[in-house]
Structure 1
Amino acid sequence: MKSYIADSKMRARIRSAAQSIDPVLSIGKNALTPEFTHSVEEYMEKHEIMKINVLKNCDEDLRELGNTIAERSNTELVQIIGRKIVLYKPAKEEKNRAF
């Protein structure tokens, strides 16, 4: 998979920006469905950063879950902190990119 994050400084800036945003989606016991993946893709068309909340009733490994979501939605896993997954995908137009 292609990496969108150029270096550790860029990753740090994305992580810093992710602190101020709220989770957009939540994953529960049904985990990954095609509808969930579609929601991620749709959101990432308009935003560069996304935070996902993983509910306690989700039994899957968080790292594996984050990597699977990133792979299916063509985004990059930035970090997992607590039960939150942060994803990144650059804006299509370079003038709209924040990172």
Structure 2
Amino acid sequence: MLTGKQKRFLRAAAHHLNPIFQVGKSGVNENMVKQISEALEARELIKVNILQNCGEDKKDVAQQLSQGARAELVQIIGNVIVLYKESKENKEIVLPK
């Protein structure tokens, strides 16, 4: 579980990132969760864009992705979700205490 200070730090770090995944009308599927999990292992911090044709609520999509990838939900802003998961092999982000 992330503290408020850690979430603020991660939001600032994610500000310049571009979304690397998009959730469309098909919603969240198993393959997407697997790819997001792999991307989180490589990058630790990613953005996911929810397209307007997505029939699901953005909070539900965020919850499904974070639970499926075992990641922390940092932020939902507009139609963009920010996810964080500490990498096992290439840890680059050092969180404040």
Alignment TM-score, normalising by the size of structure 2: 0.90
Q: Show the counterpart of 2:48.
A: 52
Per-residue displacement from partner, 1:43-96 (whole Å, max 9, x unpaired)?
011111110000000021111110111001110111100000000111225863
Q: Moved runs in structure 1, 4+ residues, more than 4 A?
A: none
Percent identity among equivalent residues? Answer: 34
1:66 is matched with 62
Q: Does 2:8 align with 1:9?
A: no
**CA distance change for structure 1 residues 11 and 59 in 2, over 3 Å: closer, same or farther?**
same
Read off the aligned partner of 1:28 and give its amino acid letter: G
Aligned counterparts of 1:53 and 1:94: Cα–Cα separation in 2: 25
Query: How many pairs are equivalent?
Result: 95
Rounded Cα–Cα distance in structure 1 between residues aligned with 2:47 and 2:93: 18
Partner of 2:88: 92
Aligned to 1:31: 27
Q: CA RMSD in A?
A: 1.5
Q: Is the 8 A contact 2:71 2:84 kept in 1?
A: yes
Indicate the SS of the match to 1:96.
coil
